[in-house]
Amino acid sequence: MPKINFKFIRILTAMYVSVTVSVAVTTNNGWLALFGIGSGLIFLWAMKRKFQIRSTDEMLENIGGKAARMAFSVMTTVLALLSLLFHFLGEPTGYLAALAIIFSYLTLSLIAVYSLAFYYYQKQLT
CA atoms within 13 A of residue 5's CA, in its CB half-sphere: 7
Burial class of residue 119 (count of CB atoms within 10 Å of its CB; 0-12, 13-18, 19+):
exposed
Q: Looking at the whole model, is its pTM more than 0.85?
A: no
Q: What is the pLDDT of residue 105?
A: 93
CB neighbourhood size of 122 (10 A): 9
pLDDT digits (tens, 9 = 90+) for 13-50: 899 999 998 988 888 888 888 998 999 888 888 887 77
The domain limits of the chain are 3-51, 58-125
Burial call 73-105: b when 16+ CB within 10 Å, e when fewer? eeebeebbebbeebbeeeeeeeebbebbeebbe
Q: What is the pLDDT of residue 4?
A: 60
